[in-house]
């Protein structure tokens, strides 16, 4: 992996990653002439016992730009800069111009609940220069590079003691609110372990303390023995529709070994994990022969400098469709109770995905 660190004229950091060495002298562009202003703050939600971030400056952010302007395509005309330079990078990472966390963080207001500076970081990760591509369509070594990039971001962001958790994710498709269709994802670096990873961490810790083994490691073994819902079984990685799927086409992807995060993957594990990911995404797009929307989140150990033998890197993919033409809406029971109701059996949905061919070189 090759990397170059740059700074945009508006002060934001940018890092370019490539499989081959990058030339010297690359300039990082920005469509925004002015330095970053505004900034977010946190407020404590007393009833749920969690933080919420408020970034009112985000209301001005880019929204469904006309098709002729793509801020994630390389800058070809210096008079009309985009977010990324015209250089032979494979993956580009830069600070979000309208971050929910980090950036220029003002002192928080004095309110009737505790408040705090919204420290942290929101990064945009451009997966490829090709706006027509998709993550699943990229070559295997390009996907593996992305996993290495996520590891590099996690290590670098997590080295800041104010960062407690790093979450790489991709929202794909207009159905999940995506406004820029150039293949990209995001990395959020949180100043706390957020509620969902916090809960999962607590459950995993209790299991590990009681059984001396990882919860997901044990679950993966059970899924493999059962076999009914497996989508990929490689030498080092697996993908399957979990027996407890909360979304009809939910898939989990993980290394077989309980690795706490991307940075701890061995080369062979990373390649096989990339192969598992690419297989799932090709199956998704092949299912109805159209781009398949999803939310994909990669859970890792908190970045608190501690060993986390209970943590096991994995992705959860949550597609919004129930069937080809029906969306699953999260409503009363899912959002207000946190109790998910499924109309489909994971075994049936796994069978649909198993039957989609995904030919990898």
Catalytic residues: 184
Nearer to its own copies, 80 or 162 (CB): 162
Nearer to its own copies, 192 or 271 (CB): 192
Nearer to its own copies, 55 or 287 (CB): 55
CA gap 194, 196 in Å, rounded:
6
Instruction: Return the number of other C-beta atoms located less than 10 Å from residue 234's C-beta.
Output: 18
Question: What is the DSSP code string of 294-329?
Answer: EEEEEE---SSSS--TT---EEEEE-SEEETTEE--
| Smallest gap from residue 267 Cβ to its own copies (A) | 27
Question: What is the DSSP code string of 108-174?
Answer: PP--SS-EEE--SEEEEEE--S-TT--GGGS-HHHHHHHHHHHHHHHHHHHTSTT--EEEEEEEESG
Nearer to its own copies, 21 or 63 (CB): 63
Closest-CA residue to 158 (of 308, 278, 350): 308
Residues linked to residue 11 through DSSP beta bridges, in sequence order: none
Q: Cα–chain-centroid distance for residue 69?
A: 24
Query: 140-158 vs 267-287: helix axis angle to the nearest 10?
Result: 120
| Smallest gap from residue 345 Cβ to its own copies (A) | 5
- Tokens 């960062």 locate to 163
CA gap 159, 291 in Å, rounded:
36
| Smallest gap from residue 336 Cβ to its own copies (A) | 3
| Smallest gap from residue 200 Cβ to its own copies (A) | 5
| Smallest gap from residue 2 Cβ to its own copies (A) | 28
Find out whether 306 and 234 touch, Cβ atoms under 8 Å.
Answer: no
Nearer to its own copies, 85 or 319 (CB): 319
């Amino acid at each position: 992996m090759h990397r170059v660190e740059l700074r945009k004229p508006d002060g934001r950091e940018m890092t370019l990653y490539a499989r081959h060495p990058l030339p010297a002298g690359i300039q990082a562009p920005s469509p925004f002439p002015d330095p970053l202003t505004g900034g977010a703050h946190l407020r404590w939600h007393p009833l749920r016992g969690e933080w919420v971030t408020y970034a009112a400056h985000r209301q001005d952010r880019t929204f469904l730009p006309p098709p002729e302007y793509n801020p994630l395509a390389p800058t070809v005309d210096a008079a009309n800069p985009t977010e990324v330079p015209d250089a032979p990078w494979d993956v580009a990472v830069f600070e979000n111009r309208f971050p929910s966390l980090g950036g220029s963080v003002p002192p928080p207001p004095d309110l009737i609940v505790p408040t705090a500076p919204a420290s942290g970081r929101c990064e945009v990760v451009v997966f490829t220069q090709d706006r027509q591509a998709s993550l699943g369509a990229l070559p295997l070594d390009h996907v593996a590079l992305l996993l290495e990039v996520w590891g590099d971001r996690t290590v670098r962001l997590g080295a800041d003691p104010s960062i407690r958790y790093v979450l790489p994710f991709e929202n794909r498709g207009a159905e999940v609110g995506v406004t820029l269709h150039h293949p990209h994802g995001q990395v959020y670096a949180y100043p706390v372990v957020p509620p969902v990873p916090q809960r999962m961490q607590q459950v995993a810790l209790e299991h590990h303390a009681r059984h001396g083994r990882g919860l997901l490691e044990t679950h993966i073994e059970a899924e493999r023995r059962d076999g009914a819902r497996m989508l990929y079984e490689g030498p080092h990685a697996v993908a399957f529709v979990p027996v407890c799927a909360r979304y009809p086409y939910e898939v989990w992807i993980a290394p077989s070994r309980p690795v706490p995060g991307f940075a701890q993957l061995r080369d062979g594990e990373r390649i096989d994990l990339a192969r598992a990911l690419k297989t799932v995404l090709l199956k998704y797009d092949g299912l109805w022969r159209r781009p398949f929307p999803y939310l994909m989140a990669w859970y890792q150990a908190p970045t608190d400098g501690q060993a986390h033998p209970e943590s096991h890197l994995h992705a959860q993919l949550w597609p919004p469709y129930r069937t080809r033409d029906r969306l699953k809406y999260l409503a009363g029971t899912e959002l207000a109770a946190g109790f998910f109701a499924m109309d489909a059996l994971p075994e049936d949905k796994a069978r649909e995905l198993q039957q989609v061919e995904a030919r990898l070189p």
